Amino acid sequence: MNITIFTDAWDPQINGVVTTLKTTVEHLKKRGYDVVVVHPGLYKLTVPLQPSTGIFMPILPMGIADEEVKNADYIHIATEGAIGLAARYSCKKYKKSYTTSFHTKYPEYVKIHTGISPRVSGKYFRWFHRNSSSVMVTTPSMVDYCAELGIKNLKVWSRGVDTTLYRPDYEVKNKPIRAIRAVYCGRISAEKNIEAFLSIKDTLIRKTLIGDGPQLEEYKLKYPKAKFLGKMNKYQIANELRKHDVFAWPSLTDTFGLVVLEGMACGLPVAAFDNEVNRYIIEDGVSGFLTKNNLELAIEQAANLSSEDAVERAKKFSWEAATDQFLENLIV
């Protein structure tokens, strides 16, 4: 059986969408599926959208996806960019059914960066997903969010974590240290609400950030006491996470936060803001501490929680179960 996935997010990008798609492809192939991925690296003519994070958008004629669409048994359109549009066009042209996924609260990102209301930008996403037989989202709360945008046929497609790679080092954690070692991992960008973490003045909290993004140089200058490590591969990230005590997650717009699972799997209780997405992942007071408006307090409280409980919570999310959901949503 052939499954063709169309995505604007792929190597060399490092983010949760790419990790999710690549891991899902690996698991599908292990189960015997023939998987084709159509991604920006297949096309020479591209324009940079966010060069600091390696995100490029190909310039494509609408018929570019015709052959892949005609030859596919099942089609999943993972993103709403140029490749997604080309795939959608060809599916309509050849009357092929397809599924889509809604990974990111782009209407919220557009508002942060441009001031345009989600009610306006949401019209595009409602149109894009209109004919999808299943629109896959990360959590039940994202079902509600997308439903408010007018998107229909919503199904949950959860996430997992590789606990053989992301695992704790209890010897490092047991070393005596006065300050709390808090770490953030993800894009260094305004929509991640990182300044809620960086602006903490408590001298007993050491702040480390892993990742690249459009605000990296700006934040380096503005917050010289924080340690910025830049872009890392997954092996470097896993090794670095183990050196810390708390995973700081200030984001208010993420639809899941795959890195949260990775932090917990490395034995880091999470300090995050209290919302439906974070409540779905984190057991408040057990594997992390959720706060309404005080991330500093959340970091201090999370530092007192058990690393073992964080690891056990991460183990509840497996890629095997997530792949089962993907297939159930795909084959309708």
Q: Specify the pLDDT at position 122.
A: 82
Identity at 120, one-letter amino acid code: V
Is the model's pLDDT at 177 over the cut of 90?
no
Model confidence at 46: pLDDT above 80: no
The secondary element (H helix, E strand) that includes residue 159 is: none
**In sequence order, which residues have a C-beta less than 8 Å from that of residue 24 and are 6 or more positions away?**
319, 322, 323, 326
Return all residues near 28 (Cβ < 8 A) that are at least 6 apart. 3, 35, 323, 326, 327
Is residue 115 a contact partner of residue 91, using CB atoms and an 8 Å limit?
no
Torsion of CA 115, 106, 43, 71, to 10 degrees: -140
DSSP string, 11-27: TT--SHHHHHHHHHHHH
Sign of the alpha-carbon torsion through 327, 131, 44, 215: negative
Q: Which helix (H) or strand (E) holds 33?
A: none
State pTM to two decimals. Answer: 0.83
**117-127 CB burial, b ≥16 within 10 A, e <16:** ebeebbeebee
Structure tokens at 242: 């183990």
Taking only the tens place, the pLDDT of each residue in 74-107 is 999 999 988 999 999 999 999 999 999 998 777 7
Report the chain's mean pLDDT, rounded to a whole number. Answer: 90
pLDDT per residue as tens digits for the range 282-322: 999 999 999 999 999 999 999 999 999 999 999 999 999 99
- Tokens, residue 296: 């500093």
Q: Would the CA dihedral through 155, 30, 260, 191 be positive or negative?
A: negative
- Could you give the CA distance from residue 243 to residue 230 in angstroms, rounded to a whole number? 16
